[in-house]
Structures are given as C-alpha cells and as structure tokens.
Amino acid sequence: MQEQLKLDNQLCFRLYTASRLITQAYHPLLSEIGLTYPQYLVMMVLWEHDGMPVNDIAKRLYLETNTITPLLKRMESSGMITRSKGAADDGRQVIVRLTEKGKKLEDKASCVPFKLGGAVACRSINEETAPQLFATLDDLIKTLSE
C-alpha cells in the first residue's frame, strides 16, 4: 500500500474525527439549554452582533445561505430569533435578530465553553498552546476557503 493512502497519514481524517468528537462532547451541554450545535454557532454570531443579514451569518460560519436557511426557520419557530426583510433599498436581504428568549439563552450558554474545556482537556492543548493551534487552523481555513 502506498504511504500517502494510509489513514494514519491523513490530516483530513484527524480533523474530521476531532470535529465529530468535539461536537459529540457539546451535545449534552447544549441539549440542557435547548440548542443543537449548529444553532449554538448561529447564536454565538448573533450574541456577538445582533441584527445581521442571513448572508453575513452564512459567511461568518463558512456556510452557504441555503444551508442555514432551514436552520434559521427552525430557530424562528422555536422563538429564538426573528427574520424580517431588510431595508427598502434591498428587499431581498433578510435580517436575523434575537428575540428575548434568544437573548436570555446567552446567560445559560455562558458556562458551555468552560464545561467543554474540562471535557476536552489534554496535555497538548492548554491556555499556552491554544493560540498557536487557533492560528494554524485559521490559516488552514483561510487557505481552503479561497
């Protein structure tokens, strides 16, 4: 077998597995507050900057608008967000805003990163090494998204 085809030599497999396992670790924490992982990502974007166009949310999450639109519809149905037409000069734009319920979820979610940090703590990722890991992953994401 060729070395480049061995599973253990694949960066993509490590990233996929780590992502899947981290998302799995989030599940019990987020289900306590009534969110799925994709909903949590949208909420973090809106907690940071409420009243964003759907296109901007999609760009921030490196997703297509047709991917997040069904998610936003479900979130609106559950009362976390509202969606409304944008300014008169661009009626095609849909603006997403937090409802009071969505705003209150921020307090409930504030403990999630700390709880998750304890769940995924390992020797090679800590407060000192995390910034370099983030920078490396950000560089990879930027390169792949261009």
Q: How many domains does the chain have?
A: 1
Residue 142 located in a structural domain:
no
Nearest to 40 by CA among 127, 110, 93: 110
d(CA 46, CA 76): 13
Residue 26 has which token pair?
Answer: 């989030």
Range of the domain at 115: 8-120
Model confidence band, residue 55 (pLDDT cutoffs 50, 70, 90): very high
Q: What is the pLDDT averaged over residues 14-18?
A: 93
pLDDT number for residue 143? 95
Residue 145 carries which side chain, given as an amino acid letter? S
Do 86 and 53 form a contact (C-beta atoms < 8 A)?
A: yes
Residue 91 located in a structural domain:
yes
Residue 133 located in a structural domain:
no
Q: What is the pTM of this model?
A: 0.89
Sheet holding 94-98, edge to edge: 52-53, 94-98, 81-85
User: Residue 64: pLDDT above 90?
Assistant: yes
Model confidence band, residue 114 (pLDDT cutoffs 50, 70, 90): confident
Residue 97 located in a structural domain:
yes
Residue 136 located in a structural domain:
no
Residue 143 located in a structural domain:
no
User: Residue 77: pLDDT above 70?
Assistant: yes
Residue 59 located in a structural domain:
yes
Model confidence band, residue 129 (pLDDT cutoffs 50, 70, 90): confident
pLDDT number for residue 130? 84
Residue 102 located in a structural domain:
yes
Per-residue CA distances from 68 to 52, 61, 86, 120 (Å): 13, 9, 18, 27
